[in-house]
Amino acid sequence: MNLKTTTPVLEFSEHVEELTGGLSAVLLAGEDLWVACDELTSVERLTLSGGDRFAGQRSFELADLLDLPAFGKEKVDQEIDIEGLASEGGYLWLVGSHSIKRKNVSVEKDRNDPDEKNIDKLRKTEAEGNRFLLARVPLMREDETGESVLTLATPDGALEAAQLPCTLTENALTRAILEKDEDGKPDLHLSPWLGLPGKDNGLDIEGLAVAGERVFLGLRGPVLRGWAVVLELQVGDAGASELRLKKIGPKGRAYRRHFLNLGGLGVRDLCRDGDDLLVLAGPPMTHDGPVQVFRWPGGAAQDKETVVWPDEFKGPALTIPHGAGVDRAEGITLLAGGNSSSLLVVYDAPSENRKVGDAAVRADIFELP
């Protein structure tokens, strides 16, 4: 990767307002940078250009590749709320937040509305949209152009798009959290939080890493008495372009839980580095606060549920600067080269200083300690 800057520019030609307004996930694969915005139903491919920018956007509409339950329905929020991207085994993997939303009362827009109206808005929650999506899509190079593209299936049929079956309000993972285990109990750590909005410390997936059949999901919430949660799944093919969860957890559960002491922070993204997991951690709710990257040694190679204490993270945490209500780090991807590694970081709510003209924003590159 011949990058000649620590602040590369990301240029867009489609969905410009949404993408320059905030990015929620990022993945570097070869010379291509894949990004997503949580307000869209597409993923975007950019290609390294000139050593200081990623440009040449191509947008891939996921409704052409996957079953999106809300797509095309009027008066229904259709966004996927994509919060994580990863690549493994020839696939691009992606995950939605799996969270529900509470109506927002905005200081800027709603201040002059009657109190009764704003109180009523704060009562309303919804679980519509395509947020309960966990899927993989074949990532291949076209013979004619050499460009990386997403496709329903590879020409030889060896790889095909697949997903956990989902509806507007649930999928196999959320059902597994509510399902009674061998002791006749639901998941007492996580099930109480399924009915709470993500911004209220409810269940909210914001990180994704994949290692073979293992899928790791980082939770922004809930944070339990200061402890963040990473879920580990093992997925297999279920036929008809569907994935299924294997029962790898204790007491017959379809997942494992890992509890990380991140000093009260939640997981904002995950990135795999060999057997290690890099954890982007930030405030679990809507306030500003510290943003750090922790290295969890062997995080992608656990054989049981774990509790990870502060002194078990390797080396000092990397601190990512943030602003007041702006420049919230949302996605990380690994840049490896020579004897050192670094991270490319993208942001939600970019500050005006981060914007370049009307159709581009700057990312940051930080060397890992």
User: What digits encode the pLDDT tens for the residues 59-87?
Assistant: 999 999 999 999 888 767 788 999 999 99
Q: Cβ(295)–Cβ(276) under 8 Å?
A: yes
- The structure's pTM equals 0.95
Rounded Cα distance, 37 and 53, in Å: 19
Average pLDDT, the chain: 94
- Phi then psi for 212, rounded to 5 degrees? 65, -125
Q: Find, among 5, 13, 10, 39, the residue nearest to 26 by Cα.
A: 10
DSSP state of 100: B
Per-residue pLDDT tens over the stretch 309-334 = 999 999 899 999 998 999 999 999 99
**CATH code reported for the domain at 9-367:** 2.115.10
Annotate 151-179 with DSSP letters as a single string: -SB-TTSS-B-EE--B-SS-BHHHHHHHS
Residue 248 and residue 181: Cα distance in Å, rounded?
A: 12
Please name the amino acid found at residue 328.
R
pLDDT tens digit string along 216-242? 999 999 999 999 999 999 999 988 899
Domain ranges of the chain: 9-367
Please give the backbone phi and psi of residue 2, each rounded to the nearest 5 degrees, phi first: -95, 65
Strand-pair partners of 162: 136
> Which pLDDT value is given to residue 338?
55
